[in-house]
Amino acid sequence: MENEEKVNQTEETQKDIEMTEDTAASADNVTENVDDTDKKKKSGIFSKKNKDKERIQELEEEVEKIKVEKAELNDRFLRLYSEFDNYKKRVSREKLDLIATASEKVIIDLLPVIDDYERAIAANEKAEDINAIKEGFNLIYNKLQQLLKRFDVEEIVAKGETFDTDFHEAITHFPTDKEEDKGKVIDVTEKGYKIKDKVIRFAKVVVAQ
C-alpha cells in the first residue's frame, strides 16, 4: 500500500510538473505574441509618421513653388500694367498732337482764301463793274471748294433724294399730291457735309408727305 501511494504521488507530481511546464510554455507564447503585436504596432506607427512627414514636406515644397509662381505672375502683371498705362498716355498725346496738327493744317490752307476775301472787299469799295465783283466772288468760292475737297469734305446730296435719317434732318414736312414725291426731300435749308463716310453736319431739309 505504501508503494502504491508513493507511485500515485510520483505520478501526480509528474503531472503537476508537466502542467507547470505547459503553463510556462503558454505564457511564453503569449508573451511572444504580445511582443510581436507591440513590434508591429510600433512599426506601423513609425511608418505612418514617416509617411505623414513625407507628405508634409511635399506640401511645403508645393507651397514654396506656388509662392514663387505668384511672385513671378505679380511682377509680370505690374510690368504689363505699367506698359499699358504708358501706352495710353502716349496714344492720348498722339491724339492731341494729331488734332492740333490737323487744325493747324486746315487753318494754314484757309488763310489764302481769307486773303482773297480781304482783297475782294478792298477792291469792291472802288469797283464799278458788277460782273467783276461776281467773278471775284466765284473765284474765291471755287478756291474754297477745292480746299474742302483736299480734306475729303463732300456735300451731302439731299434735294430730290429719299429722306434718310443717316444724312438728313427734317425741320418740317410739306404736303404733296404727287405720290412719287412722298418721303422725299423737296427743299434744303442748310447743306450737310461729310468727311469720307463720317457726317460732320446733317442736311436740314423739308420733306414731302
Q: Which helix (H) or strand (E) holds 156?
A: strand 153-156
Give the confidence band of 11 by pLDDT, cuts at 50, 70, 90.
Answer: low
Given this model, what pLDDT does residue 2 score? 44
Given this model, what pLDDT does residue 27 score? 47
How far apart CA 123 and CA 133 sit, in angstroms, is: 8
Beta 153-156 vs 198-201: how paired, if at all? Answer: unpaired
DSSP per-residue letters across 160-195: TSBP-TTTEEEEEEE--S-GGGTTBEEEEEE-EEEE
* Cβ–Cβ < 8 Å for 1, 9: no
Name every residue whose Cβ is closer than 8 Å to that of residue 136 and which is 6 or more positions away in sequence. 120, 123, 124
Q: What percent of the chain has pLDDT over 70?
A: 77
DSSP structure class, residue 146: H
User: What is the widest separation between alpha-carbon atoms in the chain?
Assistant: 187
Give the confidence band of 37 by pLDDT, cuts at 50, 70, 90.
Answer: low
Please check the confidence at residue 172 and state whether its pLDDT lies above 50: yes
- Low-confidence winner among 57-61, 151-155, 189-193 (lowest mean pLDDT): 57-61
Closest CA to 32 of 96, 132, 24, 70: 24
How far apart CA 185 and CA 161 sit, in angstroms, is: 6
Closest CA to 209 of 187, 186, 176: 176
Please check the confidence at residue 17 and state whether its pLDDT lies above 70: no
* Cβ–Cβ < 8 Å for 27, 19: no
* Cβ–Cβ < 8 Å for 207, 186: yes
Please check the confidence at residue 29 and state whether its pLDDT lies above 80: no
Model confidence pLDDT, tens digit, residues 39-96: 555 555 656 677 778 888 888 888 989 998 998 999 899 999 999 999 999 988 888 8
Give the confidence band of 178 by pLDDT, cuts at 50, 70, 90.
Answer: confident
Check residues 105 and 10 and name the one with the higher pLDDT: 105
Question: Mean pLDDT score of the chain, rounded to an integer?
Answer: 80
Give the confidence band of 23 by pLDDT, cuts at 50, 70, 90.
Answer: low
DSSP structure class, residue 202: P
Supply the pTM of this predicted model.
0.52
Given this model, what pLDDT does residue 190 score? 95
